Amino acid sequence: MNTRTSHLTPRPGIMRISPYVGGRSALGGQQNVIRLASNEAALGPSPRAIAAYAAHGDSLHRYPDGGAGDLRAALGALHKLDGERIVCGTGSDELLQLLTKAYAGPGDEVLYSRHGFLVYQLAALAAGATPVAAPETDLRADIDALLAHVTEKTRIVFLANPNNPTGSYLPRGELRRLWNGLPENILLVIDSAYAEFVMADDYEAGAELAERAKNVVMARTFSKIYGLAALRLGWCYASEEVIDVLNRVRGPFNVTGPALAAGLAAVADQEHVDKARRHNDKWLRRLAGECAKIGLETLPSVGNFMLLRFAAGGARDAKAADAFLTARGILARNVDSYHLPDCLRVSIGLDHEMDALLDALKEFMA
Ligand SMILES: Cc1ncc(COP(=O)(O)O)c(C=O)c1O
């Protein structure tokens, strides 16, 4: 019997996807908007990356190196990893999507934590798999809860470390405990998009685990500390088996030439990375300290963003704060879709942008 319908029908799950809504980037007609809604790089990219990008203008008629050989070698040298076990992608987002489609499908479950990065749920649905969210404790991934939600059907566990939007992270020991508790046929994807910002001694981006475990992937991006979000460039490190799978399912030229050129120059400029890290660290501390003085709760963060928690309901709730900031040309991120209706997420911006944010918050809280 032909069970097909007579009209175009996407695979089950697709219509359950609510298209991803990013942070606002503009305010109708207003100049000088302060964009703190998308965890973009405060300092922007290295001037060397911008120059490499511009220089690539002469080669736009050439196909890029589909294997991203030079960039993989540079990343391998920088992180002391085998460049053969790296795959580059159109943002780490592409790699997260490809991994999900390659390892999960209808009838399978994809597990992540309740306030985890939204893309995991979207990727699971796009693959026809069932997204499963485990509860968190104090806005932090809870290893016991994650392991308790593993079933026969679980194919992938996603963990953002640090997590967006909470800013929390799991230390090395907890990461190991998660991996130890997972059967070998489940892929653990450690999404370390914000790894370069983390100063904590007990933090591990996941490379050590991915180095020795066949079922671990570490995903990284050039969108955050490297400031190349517009170019869409990410990479991941995994076992030969997983890399082989990714190389089969990715597009032959999935990363553009300008992105490869800029990425290579960005990797070579670690001074710029250090400068960005120091700027971020200074403002993470200052923002938390200044907010405490005005009675505004902040959640501890090791990323380039922070959650501000407002009193629920009433004149000083998160919605009122969002409107107040917007009226002053400051764009924060509403995190309702992350089940955090009392919070706003703000990225760490430039000095004058952070001063403007603090002035506005002081006025709001007064
Ligand atoms: C945790 C996390 N992972 C991945 C990404 C996606 O980064 P990319 O720009 O490389 O696709 C983001 C972007 O905000 C993120 O917050």
pLDDT value of residue 222: 98
What integer best gives the mean pLDDT of the chain?
96
230 alpha carbon – ligand 1 mean position (Å): 12
Q: Ligand 1, residue 38: give the atom nearest the CA.
A: 14
Phi, psi of 364 (to 5 degrees): -65, -40
pLDDT value of residue 14: 87
Please indicate whether residue 191, judged by its CB atom, sits closer than 6 Å to ligand 1: yes
4 alpha carbon – ligand 1 mean position (Å): 37
224 alpha carbon – ligand 1 mean position (Å): 8
Q: Ligand 1 pocket check: which of 96, 223, 226 to mutate, most ligand atoms within 8 Å of Cβ?
A: 223
- Could you give the percent of the chain with pLDDT greater than 90? 91
Report the candidate in 83, 123, 82 with the shortest Cα–Cα distance to residue 103.
123
Q: Ligand 1 pocket check: which of 191, 301, 306, 347 to mutate, most ligand atoms within 8 Å of Cβ?
A: 191
pLDDT value of residue 105: 96
205 alpha carbon – ligand 1 mean position (Å): 14
pLDDT, tens only, 334-349? 999 999 999 999 999 9
pLDDT value of residue 4: 66
221 alpha carbon – ligand 1 mean position (Å): 7
pLDDT value of residue 273: 98
Kindly report the protein residue whose alpha carbon is nearest to atom 12 of ligand 1: 193
| Rg of the chain taking only CA atoms, in angstroms | 21
Write out the E strands in 310-348: 330-331, 333-334, 343-347
Report the candidate in 83, 129, 16, 114 with the shortest Cα–Cα distance to residue 267.
83
Q: Ligand 1, residue 191: give the atom nearest the CA.
A: 3
Burial 185-200, CB ≥16 within 10 A → b, else e? ebbbbbbbbbbbbbee
Kindly report the protein residue whose alpha carbon is nearest to atom 2 of ligand 1: 193
- The answer on pLDDT for 220 being more than 60 is yes
Alpha-carbon torsion angle 297, 302, 305, 307, nearest 10: -30
pLDDT value of residue 80: 98
Q: Ligand 1 pocket check: which of 21, 36, 96, 119 to mutate, most ligand atoms within 8 Å of Cβ?
A: 119
pLDDT, tens only, 188-205? 999 999 999 999 999 999
Phi, psi of 139 (to 5 degrees): 55, 35
pLDDT band at 215 (very low <50, low <70, confident <90, very high): very high
- Candidate from 165-169, 219-223, 314-318 with smallest mean pLDDT: 314-318
53 alpha carbon – ligand 1 mean position (Å): 21
366 alpha carbon – ligand 1 mean position (Å): 35
pLDDT band at 25 (very low <50, low <70, confident <90, very high): confident
Residue 183 identity: P
Please indicate whether residue 92, judged by its CB atom, sits closer than 6 Å to ligand 1: yes
Residues 316 and 331: their CA atoms lie apart, in Å, by: 17
Residue 136 has a CB neighbour count (10 Å cut-off) of 19
Which of helix, strand or coil describes residue 97? helix
Please indicate whether residue 90, judged by its CB atom, sits closer than 6 Å to ligand 1: no
- Candidate from 18-27, 94-103, 250-259, 279-288 with smallest mean pLDDT: 18-27
pLDDT value of residue 234: 98
Q: Report pTM.
A: 0.96
Please indicate whether residue 117, judged by its CB atom, sits closer than 6 Å to ligand 1: yes
pLDDT value of residue 32: 86
132 alpha carbon – ligand 1 mean position (Å): 20
- The answer on pLDDT for 281 being more than 90 is yes
1 alpha carbon – ligand 1 mean position (Å): 44
pLDDT band at 26 (very low <50, low <70, confident <90, very high): confident
- The answer on pLDDT for 1 being more than 60 is no
Which of helix, strand or coil describes residue 137? strand
Kindly report the protein residue whose alpha carbon is nearest to atom 6 of ligand 1: 93
- What sign has the CA pseudo-torsion 284, 285, 290, 294? positive
- The answer on pLDDT for 53 being more than 70 is yes
pLDDT band at 3 (very low <50, low <70, confident <90, very high): low
Please indicate whether residue 164, judged by its CB atom, sits closer than 6 Å to ligand 1: yes
Please indicate whether residue 33, judged by its CB atom, sits closer than 6 Å to ligand 1: no
pLDDT value of residue 262: 98
